[in-house]
Homo-oligomer: A and B are copies of this chain.
Amino acid sequence: MLALAGYPLGLRFRFLDRVAEAPAGQLAELLQGDYADEAVLGRFAEGLELITYEFENVPVGAAKWLAERRPVYPPPVALEVAQDRLAEKTFFQGLGIPTPLFYPVLTQNDLLDGLERTGFPAILKTRRLGYDGKGQKLLHSSNDLETAWLQLGGQPLILEAFVPFERELSILAVRSRSGQVAFYPLVENHHAGGILRKSLAPAPATPARLQHEAEHLALRVMEKLDYVGVLAIELFEVEGTLWANEMAPRVHNSGHWTIEGAETSQFENHLRAVLGLPLGSTAARGHSAMLNLIGQRPNTALVLEIPGAHLHWYGKAVRPGRKVGHITLRTAAPDALEVGLKQLEAVLAETPAAAPLTD
């Protein structure tokens, strides 16, 4: 999606991915190799003007190695903070941004100490490499401790208090090399099984005060990190205030609606930011809903016959639980969005999921 947004700006691309079948290879040069292999990184960097990433688990070492040779945006330090839940929450705390209570856990004793502060329910998470709900366990009572420890113990963990939030929101912010900043309207996110299923943008019934609070919070994060590019911060709305849950130093799934639903997409604005070009307007155009396609490929005709539906198929093999595309529904009026969303959800409900063993 970055390349699709970048060609009209006159850009050319080279992608580095661990797998040769990465979808970007359909529309640009693709180098396949390991991120930890300096020979690969050297070949990748050769002749490039600058480097960016849209995958959160790029090793910080690789990003830093590249940053010594070419401009790399967002700065590797953002990756470093975002890859470790403890560093991330400590970072938020240091900026005075509210987060759920958290407690670092290395031993079973740490876990018990932590639970005295958080109480039940609480969530035990791996500090690193968690995504889409993987590497975490909800603890309802002490009965859950043994299973959770068996599953997650033996690596650095973090215990977090369960936050009785009203809803999950996210703010997409962007900061350019020149320091110019812009913010998209807050997005309301709906997860199931730890995976983002649906985003509504702009987030319905959101007071201007909340938007202002989110922008202020994102601005502090970006300035502290001397950030360049699009940054997503996942937030909890708790009794009318915002708590930071986590951040993603990249274009983000909860910003995919911007392709049709905003004047300038997050992908174009990310490119403008890393190139030091003026940022484009982040204003919403009408009302959008984004539905992820997870392990299923719906019938294209059924999707496209819904007014305002825009399909984004990623060209990936369909596997259970894998994000293989998304659909953005955009309408001028909010009631039309509701009607279309019901139709679209019905189409997806009737689409069989990939069987666990296909492909």
Please, how many angstroms separate the alpha-carbon atoms of A27 and B13 in the complex? Answer: 10
Contact with B along A114-150 (1 / 0, CB 8 A): 0000000000000000000000000000000000000
Whole-angstrom distance from the CB of A147 to the nearest CB of chain B?
40
* Interface flag for A48 (CB, 8 Å): no
**Contact A10/B311 with A3-B27, A330-B263 known, Cβ cut-off 8 Å:** yes
Considering only CB atoms, which chain B residue lies closest to A10 in the complex?
B313
- Which of B26, B281, B301, B304 touches A308 (beta carbons < 8 Å)? B281
The number of chain A residues with a CB under 8 A from chain B is 34
Q: Which residues of B lie under 8 Å from residue A281 when comparing CB positions? A: 307-308
Q: Is the CB of A301 within 8 A of B315?
A: no
Considering only CB atoms, which chain B residue lies closest to A315 in the complex?
B10
- CB proximity to B under 8 Å, residues A233-285: 263-264, 272, 276-278, 280-281, 285
Q: Which residues of B lie under 8 Å from residue A312 when comparing CB positions? A: 8
Whole-angstrom distance from the CB of A228 to the nearest CB of chain B?
16
Q: Which residues of B lie under 8 Å from residue A26 when comparing CB positions? A: 7, 12, 28
* Interface flag for A109 (CB, 8 Å): no
Query: What number of copies of this chain does the assembly contain?
Result: 2
- Which of B3, B7, B10, B304 touches A300 (beta carbons < 8 Å)? B10
Q: Is the CB of B277 within 8 A of A7?
A: no
Q: Is the CB of A277 within 8 A of B263?
A: no
Please, how many angstroms separate the alpha-carbon atoms of A332 and B262 in the complex? Answer: 12
- CB proximity to B under 8 Å, residues A300-321: 300-301, 304-305, 307-308, 310-313, 315
* Interface flag for A355 (CB, 8 Å): no
Please, how many angstroms separate the alpha-carbon atoms of A250 and B325 in the complex? Answer: 29
Q: Which residues of B lie under 8 Å from residue A325 when comparing CB positions? A: 10
Top 5 A-B residue pairs of the complex, sorted by shortest distance between their CB atoms: A10-B313, A278-B305, A8-B312, A27-B27, A278-B304
23 contacts between A and B (CB under 8 A): A3-B27, A4-B4, A4-B7, A7-B315, A8-B310, A8-B312, A8-B313, A9-B300, A9-B311, A9-B313, A10-B300, A10-B325, A12-B26, A12-B315, A26-B28, A263-B330, A277-B300, A277-B301, A278-B301, A280-B310, A281-B307, A281-B308, A285-B286
